[in-house]
């Protein structure tokens, strides 16, 4: 039973999953979590404006990588290309000095990082998101609202394998939207309107490429969605077990998103399940979630959102499992 490790470095956060893999006779893989961890490193801070990774962002990322390398050692992961995969997404795709990140990964972790395409990011997120769901609830649409981009993926799941039908990644996410439009505390009505118009226009090509008319279930993954769910459920602290596979009506999604969009920073920070690193950008991410809910309500018969704690990390780990 191999032990693998997946690292997902996005625009706002860097996350680690260490898991044991059992490969069944039919070729499917079962994962058992050994360790999960998330840190806010904000690697994409200012990339939209400068085109470069900020020195302080690289420092935060190096610190996180050092902690993760220690976790790999502690949990007995044999570091190599078949057991450890570090995937970088939107921020590093856009940065001129991305070698600062790549060099840090090679030096600290001992493997080469990959800048995955938006489409591969979407497929990995889908595979991780649907694995705990009933196949009869498909076809599924999975939305991954990240810091710099949003992925929209449709497909099916037969309890063994996920099959992707359509996928598109577009450049709108919680960090990018906040830095571009939401400058006041709380944002003005004009800023929210501009951000919403930009979000709809940016998502339009995704909905043009990814047909959602026959979708039965909407699944959302990553920190924006899980935080929104925690706030909607009025949790006193962040509880991944309660959040995983929780369901919210689309009206609840819209109402909670509006609440977070218009909330002053100090009130957001005081919310029990709010991670300190998400305080500044949750309004922008919630706006993207609201627009997605509204677009799906117009285009499908979907009436609720399923929130999954399992996402691209699990997809990366499953891809590693396939090498065994």
132-308 to CATH, choices 3.40.1500.10, 3.30.420.150, 1.20.1250.20, 2.60.200.30: 3.30.420.150
CA-to-CA dists, residue 112 to 80, 102, 227, 247, angstroms: 9, 7, 31, 38
pLDDT, tens digit only, all 324 positions of the chain: 689 999 999 888 899 999 998 876 665 667 889 999 999 898 888 887 899 999 999 999 999 999 999 999 999 999 999 999 999 976 787 788 989 999 999 999 999 999 888 778 778 889 899 988 999 999 999 999 988 889 899 999 987 788 899 999 899 999 999 999 999 999 999 999 999 999 999 999 999 999 999 999 999 998 999 999 999 999 999 999 999 999 999 999 999 999 999 999 999 999 999 999 899 999 999 999 999 999 999 999 999 999 999 988 998 998 887 776
All structural domains of the chain with their residue ranges: 3-118, 132-308
Instruction: Please give the Cα distance from 259 to 203 (Å, whole number).
Output: 22
Cα 163 from chain centroid?
19
State pTM to two decimals: 0.81
- Topology of domain 3-118 in CATH is Nucleotidyltransferase; domain 5 (3.30.420)
Q: How far is it, in rounded angstroms, from Cα 189 to Cα 196?
A: 10
3-118 shares its CATH topology with 132-308: yes
């Amino acid at each position: 039973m191999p032990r693998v490790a997946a690292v997902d470095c996005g625009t706002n956060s860097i996350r680690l999953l260490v898991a044991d893999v059992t490969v069944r006779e039919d070729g499917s893989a079962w994962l058992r979590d050994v360790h999960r961890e998330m840190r806010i490193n904000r690697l994409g801070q200012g990339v939209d404006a400068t085109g470069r990774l900020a020195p302080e962002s690289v420092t935060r990322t190096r610190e996180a990588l050092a902690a993760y390398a220690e976790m790999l050692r502690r949990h007995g992961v044999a570091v190599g290309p078949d057991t450890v995969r570090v995937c970088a997404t939107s921020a590093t795709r856009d940065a001129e000095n991305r070698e600062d990140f790549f060099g840090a990964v090679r030096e600290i972790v001992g493997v080469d990082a990959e800048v995955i395409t938006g489409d591969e990011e979407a497929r990995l997120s889908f595979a991780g998101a649907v694995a705990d769901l009933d196949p009869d609830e498909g076809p599924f649409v999975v939305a991954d609202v990240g810091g710099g981009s949003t992925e929209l993926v449709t497909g099916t799941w037969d309890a063994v394998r996920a099959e992707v039908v359509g996928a598109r990644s577009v450049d709108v996410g919680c960090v990018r939207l906040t830095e571009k439009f939401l400058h006041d505390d709380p944002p003005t009505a004009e800023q929210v309107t501009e951000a919403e118009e930009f979000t709809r226009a940016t998502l339009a090509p995704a909905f043009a490429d990814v047909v959602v008319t026959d979708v039965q279930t909407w699944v959302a993954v990553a920190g924006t969605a899980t935080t929104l769910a925690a706030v909607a459920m009025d949790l006193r602290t962040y509880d991944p077990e309660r959040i995983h596979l929780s369901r919210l009506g689309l009206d609840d999604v819209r109402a909670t998103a509006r609440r977070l969009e218009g909330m002053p920073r100090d009130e957001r920070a005081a919310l029990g399940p709010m991670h300190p690193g998400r305080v500044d950008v949750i309004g922008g991410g919630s706006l993207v979630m609201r627009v997605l809910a509204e677009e799906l309500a117009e285009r499908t018969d979907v009436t609720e959102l399923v929130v999954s704690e399992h996402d691209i990390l699990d997809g990366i780990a499953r891809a590693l499992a396939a090498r065994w």
